[in-house]
């Protein structure tokens, strides 16, 4: 039960109100580490790639690397392209085989964003893929995409109309979260998730997961945030583990030991989040219903 459409992972999560971690990987080692965490926890998992990572590795080599690993795991997994404002890259990734894409038209006005998202949804359908929509910029720059300036937040009715008119599968609402590390405790707006889900019951996406408290995750998940994005925590685990190992072993030039130290740190980070979100053990139910 390896690679599945993202709806097969998120439909049950949304219906039963648990969260599925959507973790931005940066290379084969981090991919392997998060897949291994999901396998150990018998949890479904969404693997995400930023546009920067796609550009740095190349869409086809990255997709081959993904399939080589993902086809081996016994839990349902799906590949998602995170914030992508560039239509050509959306097409490249859909063609290569990504299961889901976030067309980030948040820099456009809502009418133009709606118009283009309709096209992306139609294009994705041809590949059996799904689209996440967004009309408000998530605060904080993530891999060169986004802004450190707070953007406009629209009334939920505007988001509901966007969802209705575009037919996006999932939606990323502005709820007070931000990419990167929180400098101050965020002022979350959980009611916006509840209101939107009442208007349009589709999976909501929690951006800016790194640094939220366990009770904040659980509250937002219980309201309908079925996809929970984690990126900064992986970068911190990945980079700090390199530093830690090199500082502790100044004269050593032993890449396999360095890499196994880094892999363990990334895996622990993934396990921490999967453990909170309530998806552990859900792969078992999945195989029972899918099988
Ligand atoms: P963090 O970098 O804060 O974990 O947010 C991840 C995210 O929302 C990716 O889109």
CA 12/CA 25 separation, integer angstroms: 24
pLDDT of residue 291: 41
Amino acid 77: pLDDT: 98
Ligand 1 neighbours, Cβ below 6 Å, are 24, 82-83, 142, 179-180, 207-210, 229-233
How many whole angstroms from 170 Cα to the centroid of ligand 1? 16
Three-state SS string over the chain comes to: CCECCHHHHHHHHHHHCCCEEEEECCCHHHHHHHHHHHHHCCCCEEEEECHHHHHHHCHHHHHHHHHHHHCCCCCCEEEEEEEECCHHHHHHHHHHCCCEEEECCCCCCHHHHHHHHHHHHHHHHHCCCEEEECCCCCECCECCECECCCCCCCCHHHHHHHHHHHCCCEECCCCCCECCCCCCCCCCCHHHHHHHHHHCCCCEEECCCCCCCHHHHHHHHHHCEEEEEECHHHHHHHHHHHHHHHHHCCCCCCHHHHHHHHHHHHHHHHHHHHHHHCCCCHHHHHHHHHC
Contact between 114 and 103 under an 8 Å Cβ cutoff? The reply is no
Question: What residues contact 182, with CB distance under 8 A and at least 6 apart?
Answer: 211, 212
* Token digits of residue 10: 């998120």
Q: What are phi and psi of 33, to 5 degrees?
A: -65, -45
Distance 169 CA to ligand 1 centre (A): 19
Q: What is the model's pLDDT at position 287?
A: 60
Asked whether the beta carbons of 230 and 207 are under 8 A apart, the reply is no
pLDDT in tens, the chain (291 residues): 689 999 999 999 999 999 999 999 999 999 999 999 999 999 999 999 999 999 999 999 999 999 999 999 999 999 999 999 999 999 999 999 999 999 999 999 999 999 999 999 999 999 999 999 999 887 777 777 777 777 788 999 999 999 999 999 999 999 999 899 998 899 999 999 999 999 999 999 999 999 999 999 999 999 999 999 999 999 999 999 999 999 999 999 999 999 999 999 999 999 999 999 999 999 998 765 544
Q: Which residues contact 9 (CB under 8 A, 6 or more apart)?
A: 20, 44, 45, 46, 76, 77, 78
Q: How far does the centroid of ligand 1 lie from the alpha carbon of residue 145, in Å?
A: 11
- Whose Cα sits closest to atom 8 in ligand 1? 207
Pick the catalytic residue: 32, 82, 104, 143? 82
Q: Into which CATH architecture does domain 6-290 fall?
A: Alpha-Beta Barrel (3.20)
Distance CA 186, CA 191 (A): 15
What's the pLDDT score for residue 152?
83
Which residue is closest in CA terms to ligand 1's atom 5?
208
C-beta separation of 192 from 214 below 8 A: no
From 53, 141, 171, 179, mutation site for ligand 1 pocket: most ligand atoms within 8 A of C-beta: 179
Q: Which residue's structure tokens are 């899918």?
A: 290
Minimal-distance CA residue to ligand 1 atom 10: 207
Q: Enumerate the domain spans of the chain.
A: 6-290
Our answer to whether residue 82 is catalytic in this structure is: yes
Mutate to test the pocket of ligand 1, among 24, 81, 188, 237 (most ligand atoms within 8 A of CB): 24
Give dist(CA 28, CA 20) in Å, integer.
21
| Number of the ligand 1 atom closest to the C-alpha atom of 178 | 3
Q: Residue 56: its pLDDT value, please?
A: 97
Retrieve residue 30's tokens: 């981090």
Q: How much distance in Å is there from the Cα of 251 to the middle of ligand 1?
A: 35
List pLDDT tens digits, range 149-200. Answer: 777 889 999 999 999 999 999 999 999 998 999 988 999 999 999 999 999 9
Pocket test for ligand 1, best of 229, 269, 272, 273 (most atoms within 8 A of CB): 229
């Amino acid at each position: 039960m390896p690679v599945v459409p993202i709806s097969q992972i998120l439909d049950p999560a949304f219906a039963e109100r648990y969260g599925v971690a959507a973790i931005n990987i940066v290379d084969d080692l981090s991919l392997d580490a998060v897949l291994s965490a999901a396998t150990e926890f018998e949890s479904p998992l969404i693997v995400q790639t930023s546009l920067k990572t796609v550009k740095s590795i190349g869409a086809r080599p990255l997709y081959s690397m993904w399939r080589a690993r993902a086809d081996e795991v016994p839990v349902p997994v799906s590949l998602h392209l995170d914030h992508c404002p560039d239509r050509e890259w959306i097409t490249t990734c859909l063609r290569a085989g990504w299961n889901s894409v976030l067309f980030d038209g948040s820099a456009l006005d809502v009418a133009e964003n709606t118009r283009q998202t309709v096209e992306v949804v139609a294009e994705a359908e041809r590949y059996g893929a799904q689209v996440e929509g967004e009309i408000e910029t998530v605060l904080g720059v993530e891999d060169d995409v986004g802004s450190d300036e707070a953007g406009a937040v629209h009334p939920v009715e505007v988001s509901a109309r966007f969802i209705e008119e575009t037919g996006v599968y999932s939606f990323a609402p502005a709820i007070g979260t931000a990419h990167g590390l929180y400098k101050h405790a965020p002022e979350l707006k959980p009611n916006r998730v509840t209101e939107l889900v009442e208007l349009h019951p589709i999976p909501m996406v929690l951006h800016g997961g790194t640094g939220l408290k366990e009770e904040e995750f659980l509250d937002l998940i219980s309201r309908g945030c079925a996809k929970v994005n984690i990126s900064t925590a992986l970068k911190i685990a990945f980079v700090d583990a390199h530093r830690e190992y090199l500082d502790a072993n100044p004269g050593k030039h032993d890449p396999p030991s360095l890499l196994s130290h880094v892999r363990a740190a990334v895996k622990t980070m993934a396990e921490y989040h999967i453990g909170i979100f309530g998806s552990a053990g859900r792969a078992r139910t999945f195989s029972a219903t899918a099988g």
